[in-house]
A = this chain, B = another copy of it.
Amino acid sequence: MSPKVTEEHKENRRLEIMRAAAEVFKRKGYDAVTMQDIIDETGMSRGGVYAYFGSKEELFWALLDQIDDSHAAGYAKLLDRYRNAWETIEHFLRYQEKEIGNTHRSLSPAIFEFFSSGWRDADRQPFLVGRYKRAVGDFARFLRAGVKRGDFRPLQEPEAIAQFVISFLDGLSVDVLLLGSEVCDYRAQLDSLRLYLHQVLQIAETSREDGGSQSTTGETP
């Protein structure tokens, strides 16, 4: 095999193990999962899995990185797809609605357990801070791109807006997880977030509607 094929093979193996691990974490949360559960799910040998990941924590961080990468790529793609940046926000809100409606079947319970059981763990702190700063930075960068296009005229610093959105979504996920979606009406609350963003970004009613009608035509700038 050429070195290139080997690299590709390695990457595929890595992704295969991550997919299997994600299934186990969705089923059992974080705390109750063992490396043996993940090895069983992959159908690979013990050595075959440990060659890629030294612990379930390492595997979990790899899954979190994968999620964060896909979010960052998502913003960039969305900005190209819609003519008006507000449409990107609408898309983001629909995506969040789907994600939160799916909380109990997603990685959210495992993520909640991971961060809550480890919150006094000083080793984990820098990773947590790094992940948060990245999420804030990605969203703030998207807001700045919207300002540059002339779609947004924010009343607050993009970083403050991004932090507010993230705190709210963190709280909403936890509340839906702990209380269930019959008690915690996440759809109405996402409407509140829409109202806030509409106001803080100073979106004119017309540009909001323009954005909406443009997106359905599938046109690109």
- B129 and A192: CB pair below 8 A? no
A157 to B184, CA, bound (A): 14
A167 touches B163 (CB 8 A): no
Q: Which 8 A-B pairs have the closest CB atoms?
A: A171-B171, A116-B116, A164-B192, A160-B188, A170-B171, A167-B171, A196-B196, A168-B168
**8 Å CB contacts to B: which residues of A149-174?**
155-157, 159-161, 163-164, 166-172, 174
| A34 interface residue per 8 A CB criterion | no
Segment of A50-58, A84-92, A175-183 in the binding face: A175-183
Which applies to chain A's interface (DSSP): helix, strand, loop or mixed?
helix
- Bitwise interface map of A from 171 to 207 toward B, beta carbon under 8 Å scored 1, else 0: 1101101111001110011011101100110000000
Q: In the complex, which of the residues B172, B183, B192 contacts A160, with contact meaning CB atoms closer than 8 Å?
A: B192
Q: How many residues of A contact B (CB 8 A)?
A: 46
Number of identical protomers: 2
B residues in contact with A167, CB < 8 Å = 168, 171-172, 175, 184, 189
- Write the A115-139 contact mask toward B (1 if CB under 8 angstroms, else 0): 1110110000000110011000000
* Cross-chain contact of A171 among B133, B172, B192, B195 (Cβ < 8 A): B172
Q: How far in angstroms is the closest Cβ of chain B from A108?
A: 11
Residue contacts A-B, CB under 8 angstroms, 19 given: A115-B178, A128-B179, A129-B183, A132-B183, A132-B184, A155-B195, A157-B188, A160-B185, A160-B188, A160-B191, A160-B192, A161-B192, A163-B189, A167-B168, A167-B189, A170-B171, A170-B175, A192-B196, A196-B199
